[in-house]
């Protein structure tokens, strides 16, 4: 059916890309005589593990198309990993499919689930911005809310939880997650749990939605979204997967097959190797633990308070002043941080400090903070 004359095509209302606003601060920080320490983004800087690079290279001869559902080896490795690290019991490999990193899955999940106008997509008040974008791309209603009871009688299609959370590193206890799951099941809503920082618990042990302590032994209505970007320094490979309710996975798979959302064969091989190896994760964890200790102590000495941050890849820091003032104060010392306002209005007096810089740069930041 053609569009009536004068009616513009439906375009999702997307926000301005917020990072552009940080450019002047980046330039200010870059003017430091010893160079910028960029702690604004959570992009890994340490090498991709050898075991993963070898697996990628060994699978480089890949003339045919990959399957959208993923190789049996990858799905079995994911099931083993979920049992080992996420406490998931007896998952069928059919309940797992790979994604091209997790960001695309987050952005497209409401669409893949068939949500649209009139369906609420709920996400935390302080959150990774792509949950909101995903709702908008589907034409659904984005709703930032930390309380399911505050949602009223509206039709909720999808609820996102994120523990450990970006930006503030808070861990949701099993009992809290269980309440969200019960509430969603009563309403027929899907719960998607973004667990990309699951293996980065420092002072608390993060719990997966796949753990029976949360879901009572049933995967009904649940999806766990995972990423290898942070745990395995694989952000450049685009490697993620989603696991959970087999009926939902089948639905998501069906659309992904039609849309060509498939992970390249060599990347699937690399993911398989990465998921079967815990040694490199321990090594990476100890790097981040050291950087976290150094930055935490230096920020405290410089008068910052750190809130939450018991897990994940960031320190959620404040000087009890508007976040842009703090971003400016840090930029004058050659340090770039992300303003908390990027993640929601409640972040207006915090900055997010990423642990993803080399030891040398982290030590430089600490020296400047404590000078
Ligand atoms: C909460 C959260 N979810 C998902 C992602 C996306 O990760 P990737 O697309 O690299 O898997 C990020 C990246 O920073 C994130 O912080």
Model confidence pLDDT, tens digit, residues 57-83: 999 999 999 999 999 999 999 999 999
In angstroms, the Cα distances linking 28 to 25, 225, 238, 317 are 5, 37, 31, 20
pLDDT band, residue 14 (cuts 50/70/90): confident
DSSP state of 327: H
Q: Tell me what percent of the chain is helix, strand and coil, each rounded to the nearest 5.
A: 45, 15, 40
Average pLDDT over residues 42-48: 97
pLDDT band, residue 236 (cuts 50/70/90): very high
Residue 90 above 80 pLDDT? Answer: no
Is there an atom of ligand 1 within 6 Å of 352 CB? no
What atom of ligand 1 comes closest to residue 42's alpha carbon? 14
Strand order in the sheet with 305-307: 305-307, 314-318, 351-354, 338-339
Residue 235 above 70 pLDDT? Answer: yes
Mean pLDDT of the chain: 96
pLDDT band, residue 7 (cuts 50/70/90): low
Residue 345 above 70 pLDDT? Answer: yes
Is there an atom of ligand 1 within 6 Å of 103 CB? yes
Q: What is the pLDDT of residue 16?
A: 80
In angstroms, the Cα distances linking 230 to 45, 47, 236, 263, 288 are 10, 12, 10, 18, 11
Alpha carbons 163 and 177: distance in angstroms, whole number? 9
Is there an atom of ligand 1 within 6 Å of 93 CB? no
Nearest residue CA, atom 14 of ligand 1?
42
Q: What is the pLDDT of residue 9?
A: 66
Q: What would the DSSP string read from start to end of 294-306?
A: HHHHHHHHTT-EE
Q: What is the pLDDT of residue 150?
A: 87
For 218-221, the CB contacts below 8 A with 24+ separation are 219/91, 219/95, 219/244, 219/245, 219/246, 220/185, 220/245, 221/181, 221/184, 221/185, 221/188, 221/189, 221/190, 221/191, 221/245, 221/248
Q: What is the pLDDT of residue 111?
A: 98
Q: How far is the CA of 99 from the centre of ligand 1 (A)?
A: 12
Is there an atom of ligand 1 within 6 Å of 229 CB? yes
Model confidence pLDDT, tens digit, residues 91-117: 998 899 999 999 999 999 999 999 999
Average pLDDT over residues 232-250: 98
- 323-331 and 23-30 are packed helices; what angle lies between their axes, rounded to 10 degrees? 30
pLDDT band, residue 162 (cuts 50/70/90): very high
Average pLDDT over residues 332-360: 97
Q: What is the pLDDT of residue 166?
A: 98
What atom of ligand 1 comes closest to residue 106's alpha carbon? 4
Average pLDDT over residues 143-172: 95
Q: What is the pLDDT of residue 8?
A: 65
Q: What is the pLDDT of residue 3?
A: 63
Model confidence pLDDT, tens digit, residues 244-285: 999 999 999 999 999 999 999 999 999 999 999 999 999 999
- For 346, other C-beta atoms within 10 Å of its C-beta total 16
DSSP state of 342: G
Phi-psi bin for 118: left (phi > 0), alpha (psi -120 to 50), beta?
Answer: left
The residues with which 242 forms a beta bridge, in sequence order, are 97, 225
The residues with which 314 forms a beta bridge, in sequence order, are 354
Q: Which of 40, 101, 102 to mutate for ligand 1's pocket (most ligand atoms within 8 Å of CB)?
A: 102
Is there an atom of ligand 1 within 6 Å of 227 CB? yes
Q: Terminal CA-to-CA distance of the chain, rounded, Å?
A: 67
Question: How many Cα atoms sit within 13 Å of 179 on the Cβ side?
Answer: 8
Q: How far is the CA of 36 from the centre of ligand 1 (A)?
A: 24
Is there an atom of ligand 1 within 6 Å of 338 CB? no
Average pLDDT over residues 323-334: 98
Burial class (CB in 10 A: 0-12, 13-18, 19+), 283: exposed
pLDDT band, residue 1 (cuts 50/70/90): very low
Pairing of strands 305-307, 141-144: unpaired
CB 337 within 8 A of CB 351: yes
């Amino acid at each position: 059916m053609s569009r009536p004359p004068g009616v513009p095509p439906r375009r999702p209302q997307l926000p301005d890309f917020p990072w552009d606003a940080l450019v002047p601060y980046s330039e200010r920080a870059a003017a430091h005589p010893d160079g910028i320490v960029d702690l604004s983004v959570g992009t890994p800087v340490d090498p991709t593990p050898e075991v993963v690079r070898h697996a990628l290279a060994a699978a480089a001869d890949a003339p045919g198309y990959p399957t959208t559902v993923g190789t049996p080896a990858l799905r079995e490795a994911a099931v083993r990993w979920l049992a080992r690290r996420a406490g998931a019991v007896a998952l069928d490999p059919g309940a797992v499919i790979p994604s091209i990193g997790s960001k695309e899955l987050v952005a497209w999940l409401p669409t893949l689930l068939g949500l649209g106008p009139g369906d609420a997509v709920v996400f935390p008040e302080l959150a990774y911005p792509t949950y909101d974008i995903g709702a908008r791309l589907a034409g659904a209603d984005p709703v930032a809310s930390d309380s399911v009871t505050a949602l009223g009688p509206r039709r909720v299609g999808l609820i996102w939880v994120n523990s450990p959370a970006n930006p503030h590193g808070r861990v949701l206890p099993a009992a809290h997650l269980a309440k969200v799951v019960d509430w969603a099941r009563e309403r027929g809503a899907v719960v998607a749990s973004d667990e990309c920082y699951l293996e980065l618990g420092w002072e608390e042990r993060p719990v997966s939605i796949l753990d029976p302590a949360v879901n009572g032994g049933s995967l009904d209505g649940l999806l766990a979204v995972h990423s290898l970007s942070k745990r395995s320094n694989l952000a450049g490979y685009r490697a993620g997967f989603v696991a959970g309710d087999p009926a939902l996975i089948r639905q998501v798979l069906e659309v992904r097959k039609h849309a060509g959302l498939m992970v390249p064969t060599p990347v699937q091989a690399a993911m398989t190797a990465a998921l079967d190896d815990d040694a490199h994760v321990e090594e990476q964890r100890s790097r981040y633990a050291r950087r976290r200790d150094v930055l935490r102590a230096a920020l405290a000495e410089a008068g910052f308070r750190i809130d939450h941050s018991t897990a994940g890849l960031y320190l959620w820091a404040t000087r009890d002043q508007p976040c842009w003032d703090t971003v400016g104060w840090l930029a004058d010392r050659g340090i770039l941080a992300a303003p908390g306002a990027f993640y929601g209005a409640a972040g207006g007096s915090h900055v997010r400090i990423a642990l993803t810089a080399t030891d040398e740069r982290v030590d430089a930041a600490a020296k400047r903070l404590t000078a």
